[in-house]
Chains A and B, each alone.
Chain A
């Protein structure tokens, strides 16, 4: 699975980068920069948590 963001819904809370700093960083305006690579198995749980905890419901896991 791959992380994707709906850039219209995302308002830059930054919660995802706090929950999943291994994969997500923030740009200088506070919006998430997502990896191109699929989420490694070991981080699957944390990634799902970041998705469910996104206050804007903008983050998602999608098939590659």
Chain B
């Protein structure tokens, strides 16, 4: 798999086939125009100019509302509503940029922080001004080189007098759930990065008990360009209902991976090079490991937009799209992911702690040959038993993924019952951390 991340000192390899045609529409907006060279402060200022502070609280909210910007961390919540809600409090809120990309298949936040850190930091300053905050932080997964790079960027901006509010860099542990909003608030308050029972929500009582605005780093980068170029410009790409562009992490059937900025609504066929006679696809995973499988035939007729994906049980999420080639076993791939998700349960809530390992084991049995007759029924019973019963959405996201696997790979289950697997390639396809399972100390 080719990694195009500067974090791993990438070597861009020439594509083996023509890249899929995508509408350009002034993209990329957030990433460098070409190549993978990080944008330093000088280049950033030459390209975008100084930070367009508004000089007053709440000033930017109408522009963000007109742009129709939604959260790019996965939930697609309207950004202006969060800004408005947090700016209502008399207590000055805390503003956190969330770059804890715990999802192993997603690389877009890491790429953005490496390549365009100053757009994220611009967005953070603008969000702070908008909600009247003076306490600002950037929460990023553990990676010493990335932290050094960001610390340098923050120091450069301080030296140039760009930032009105000093930015704290907070380290997120390498856990799937570390970026969950209440886990972020807990970690930033000095505790473990564990999801909390949210009552009230972080927007009301988050970091150190203060109202807290948590925005994904990509959302903040979009905020920074909207503040400069306006809502009408932002809407020149995307769909009417889901305007703008988004960063995706795509996995092609031949195993290549890259991060690409695309307009919302881009056809999945173009994004993923479907159909491809050399590398036939059987299914597409949309939305990452809390997302859903869609059969390849259906996927190649769909755009990357929630309105069209939702009837298929899928959502754009944080922009992970992966083509599963026909030579892999969808059940085996899903079972590996389900096992990982079960191990990434924080273990705090009984139903999740008990249910997820059983669900993962059942899927593991289906991934093998001659599973027992009642395995699917047991799995579905456990799925129903964990849904909606966690402090966070980990059980719900996990069962969404597992249920879609049962549906999309139903024919494969039948083959396995008869003692045969149709896959010719046993190599793992979807990326998972290779390290041994973490322990309880790794939540800080």
Contacts and interface: CB of A to CB of B under 8 A. Distances in A.
A9 interface: yes
Chain B interface mostly helix, strand, loop or mixed? loop
A11 B350 contact: yes
A12 B349 CA distance: 10
B197 A31 contact: no
A6 B197 contact: yes
B197 A9 contact: yes
A21 interface: no
Contacts of A8: 196-197, 348-349, 391
Contact of B391 (A6, A11, A28, A33): A6
Interface in A8-64: 8-12, 27-31, 33
Interface in B342-386: 348-352, 354-355, 385
Contacts of B199: 6
B389 interface: yes
Given A6-B391, A7-B391, A29 B351 contact: yes
B390 interface: yes
B196 A7 contact: no
B350 A29 contact: yes
A28 B385 contact: yes
Contacts of B391: 6-8
Contacts of A29: 350-351, 354-355
Contacts of A31: 350-351, 354, 389
Interface centre among A11, A12, A27, by most chain B C-beta atoms within 10 angstroms, is A27
Interface residues of A, number: 13
A27 B352 CA distance: 12
Contacts of A7: 197, 348-352, 389-391
Contacts of B350: 7, 10-12, 29-31
Contacts of B348: 7-8
Nearest to B350: A31
A10 B350 CA distance: 7
A6 B385 CA distance: 16
A8 B350 CA distance: 8
Nearest to A11: B350
A9 to B, nearest CB: 7
A27 B351 contact: yes
A51 to B, nearest CB: 15
A29 B351 CA distance: 7
Contacts of B351: 7, 27, 29, 31
A32 B312 CA distance: 32
A47 B223 CA distance: 48
B345 to A, nearest CB: 12
B229 to A, nearest CB: 44
Nearest to B197: A6
Contacts of A12: 350
Contacts of A9: 197
Interface in B396-437: none
A10 B348 CA distance: 9
A32 B236 CA distance: 51
B74 to A, nearest CB: 21
Interface centre among A6, A10, A31, by most chain B C-beta atoms within 10 angstroms, is A31
Nearest to B382: A28
Contacts of B197: 6-9
Nearest to B349: A7
Contacts of A28: 385
A31 B354 CA distance: 10
Nearest to B346: A8
The 4 closest A-B pairs by CB, nearest first: A7-B349, A31-B350, A29-B354, A8-B348
Interface of A: 6-12, 27-31, 33
21 contacts: A6-B391, A7-B197, A7-B348, A7-B349, A7-B352, A7-B390, A7-B391, A8-B349, A9-B197, A10-B350, A11-B350, A12-B350, A27-B351, A27-B385, A29-B351, A29-B354, A29-B355, A30-B350, A31-B354, A31-B389, A33-B385
